[in-house]
């Protein structure tokens, strides 16, 4: 990298949850350890695992019974998110001791821009110091990618784990990055990779040299963006405030006349939840919080919110929570306005179902149905078709949960 170019780091904590547990209890060091949603149930799923466990073939999202079959001596622990939040807070505070240009992107990874603090010195000594200090002070390993932009830094940090430091320059792209499978590129998931295969693109090189119109027809505006990334083009700045950019998505409606009919009001909440869900999915976002706004006949307005254990975006989940909030706080007074808002948003590909990983299996089961419903909504308008079993489900009162995501965000305000 030239001295005039940007020096961007992507700091990625290695096997974060398992590493935090080993730092908390040194007797776990060097042992195969898995963090799982419910160790007591065969349906429990591995959230993350130590590198010692990975050596036996244990993988993230693997069912516990399968993980134990791969590694009979596997140590299984439930997640302790308060402990992980505190470790994350300490890690980002340490990064900010080097530069204020730190952008958290999730609990265990973030970007740093070292351009302004390097001067004439080589970055490698400073980067090594950052990695060593995180290990020395927090007893946590990390890998660091170094590049002239965020995308290449992210790609670089994945190339050497654990405790790697990888420099990826633009001139290195043809030799290092282009021979890799397209799906190995950050931003290309399984579904996108399968779409690319239909037009003969299987490597990052083929994507980098893809035809613009063909990519746009296949992937929309994302096609050109992915081609740029494959060529190492990324002008995004390291923005410490970007984590707060999109905080909520909501819809409200003023009723033509004051309403007291409960079933009618619940129907309105469903329509509002439907609109919020479609916007969330269009933005590939999930929300940890749901709020309901109620304006009464006398214009008195109240807003009631709840934080959830796991982020949601589906119509039925949003409606269930909104309905519960509404029924809990409505006293029968005539209503003139209702609103539903999804809050504390997170990108879908960054979201982790943090407590009840059985929901992960449930979502996977319903995803094809949800996609079909979305297609029908787009073609024929809202309200044409509903998922019947879900519509007949009895509502249940939600108890307030402490949102791990919310606390993580508050730590960085």
Domain borders along the chain are 16-79, 174-230, 246-411
Q: Would you say 108 is a known binding-site residue?
A: yes
pLDDT on residue 300: 87
Calpha distance 104→92 (Å, rounded): 8
User: Looking at residue 120, what is its pLDDT?
Assistant: 60
Q: What is the pLDDT of residues 223-274, one digit of tens each?
A: 999 999 999 999 999 988 776 555 688 999 989 899 999 999 999 999 999 9
Of the CATH numbers 2.60.120.200, 1.10.3470.10, 1.10.150.20, 3.40.50.1000, which one belongs to the domain with range 174-230? 1.10.150.20
* Angle subtended at Cα 99 by Cα 95 and Cα 103, rounded to the nearest 5 degrees: 65
When pLDDT is cut at 50, 70 and 90, the band that residue 67 belongs to is very high
Q: With 50 as the cut, is the pLDDT of residue 396 above it?
A: no
Give the pLDDT score at 299: 82
pLDDT of residue 413: 47
The percent of residues in the chain predicted with pLDDT above 70, rounded, is 80
Sheet architecture: strand order including 301-312 = 248-259, 335-347, 285-296, 301-312
Query: What is the DSSP pairing of strand 8-13 with strand 46-49?
Result: unpaired
**396 contacts 324 by C-beta, under 8 angstroms:** yes
Q: What mean pLDDT do residues 38-62 have?
A: 84
- Identify the CATH number of the domain defined by range 16-79: 3.40.1170.60
Shortest CA distance to 281 belongs to which of 365, 194, 371?
Answer: 371
Determine the pLDDT at residue 393: 31
Residue 379 has pLDDT above 70, yes or no: no
pLDDT of residue 243: 63
Instruction: Inform me whether the pLDDT recorded for 56 exceeds 50.
Output: yes
The answer to whether the annotation marks 12 as part of a ligand binding site is yes
Could you give phi then psi for residue 159, rounded to 5 degrees? Answer: -85, -20
Confidence of residue 43 (pLDDT cuts 50, 70, 90): low
User: In terms of pTM, does the model score above 0.85?
Assistant: no
Q: Are strands 75-77 and 33-36 parallel, antiparallel or unpaired?
A: parallel
Q: What is the pLDDT of residue 15?
A: 94
Tokens linked to 6:
């940007």
Q: Please choose, from the candidates 249, 383, 245, the residue with its C-alpha nearest in 3D space to the C-alpha of residue 318.
A: 249
Q: What is the mean pLDDT of residues 164-189?
A: 95
Separation of CA 224 from chain center: 23
Residue 121's pLDDT is what?
A: 61
Q: How far apart are CA 247 and CA 409, in angstroms?
A: 11
CATH for the stretch 246-411: 3.30.1490.100
Provide the annotated active-site residues: 109
Strand partners, 302: 294
pLDDT value at position 41? 57
What is the rounded CA–CA span in Å between residue 56 and residue 62? 13
Q: Over 90: is that where the pLDDT of 383 sits?
A: no
Tokens linked to 392: 């007949």
Q: How many angstroms separate the CA atoms of 331 and 260, rounded?
A: 10
Give the whole-angstrom CA distance, residue 345 versus residue 351: 9
Question: Is the pLDDT at 347 greater than 90, yes or no?
Answer: no
| Three-state secondary structure call for residue 312 | strand
Q: Which pLDDT belongs to residue 349?
A: 66
Q: Which residues contact 311 (CB under 8 A, 6 or more apart)?
A: 286, 287, 288, 344, 345, 346, 351, 353, 405
Whether the pLDDT of residue 311 is over 90: the answer is no
The pLDDT mean for the chain works out to 83
> DSSP alpha helices (H): ranges in 61-149?
64-70, 81-96, 115-118, 123-138
Residue 53 has pLDDT above 80, yes or no: yes
Is residue 354 a contact partner of residue 79, using CB atoms and an 8 Å limit? Answer: yes
Dump pLDDT digits (tens) for 92-142: 999 999 999 999 888 899 999 999 887 666 788 899 999 999 999 999 999
């Amino acid at each position: 990298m030239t001295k005039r170019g940007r020096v961007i780091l992507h700091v990625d904590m290695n096997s974060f949850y398992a590493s935090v547990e080993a730092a908390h209890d040194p007797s776990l060091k060097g042992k195969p350890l898995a963090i799982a949603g419910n160790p007591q149930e065969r349906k429990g799923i591995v959230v993350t695992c130590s590198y010692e466990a990975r050596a036996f073939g244990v993988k993230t999202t693997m069912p516990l019974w399968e993980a134990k079959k791969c590694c009979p001596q596997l140590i299984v622990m439930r997640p302790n998110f308060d402990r992980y939040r505190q470790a994350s807070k300490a890690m980002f505070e340490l990064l900010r001791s080097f530069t204020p240009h730190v952008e958290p992107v999730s609990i265990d990874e973030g970007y740093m821009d070292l351009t302004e603090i390097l001067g004439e010195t080589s970055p490698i000594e400073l980067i090594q110091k950052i990695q060593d200090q995180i290990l020395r002070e927090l007893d946590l390993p990390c890998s660091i990618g170094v590049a002239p932009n965020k995308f290449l830094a992210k790609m670089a940090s994945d190339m050497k784990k654990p405790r790697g430091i990888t420099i990826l320059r633009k001139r290195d792209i043809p030799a290092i990055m282009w021979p890799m499978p397209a799906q190995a590129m950050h931003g290309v998931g399984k579904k996108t990779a399968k779409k690319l295969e239909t037009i003969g693109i299987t490597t990052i090189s083929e994507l980098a040299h893809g035809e613009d119109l063909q990519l746009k027809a296949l992937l929309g505006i994302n096609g050109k963006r992915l081609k740029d990334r494959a060529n190492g083009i990324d002008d995004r700045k390291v923005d410490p405030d970007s984590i707060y950019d999109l905080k909520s998505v909501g819809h409200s409606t003023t009723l033509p006349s004051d309403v007291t009919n409960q079933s009618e009001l619940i129907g309105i909440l469903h329509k509002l939840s439907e609109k919020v869900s479609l916007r969330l999915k269009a933005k590939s976002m999930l929300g940890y919080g749901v709020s309901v706004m109620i304006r009464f006949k006398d214009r008195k307005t109240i807003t009631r919110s709840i934080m959830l254990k796991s982020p949601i975006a589906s119509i039925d989940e949003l409606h269930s929570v909104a309905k519960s909030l509404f029924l809990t706080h409505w006293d029968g007074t005539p209503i003139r306005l209702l609103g539903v808002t999804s809050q504390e948003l997170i990108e879908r590909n960054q979201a982790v179902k943090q407590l009840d990983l059985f929901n992960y299996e449930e979502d996977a089961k319903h995803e094809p149905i949800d996609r079909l419903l979305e297609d029908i909504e787009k073609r024929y308008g809202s309200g044409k078709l509903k998922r019947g079993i879900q519509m007949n489900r009895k509502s249940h009162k939600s108890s307030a949960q402490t949102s791990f995501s919310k606390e993580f965000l508050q730590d960085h305000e």
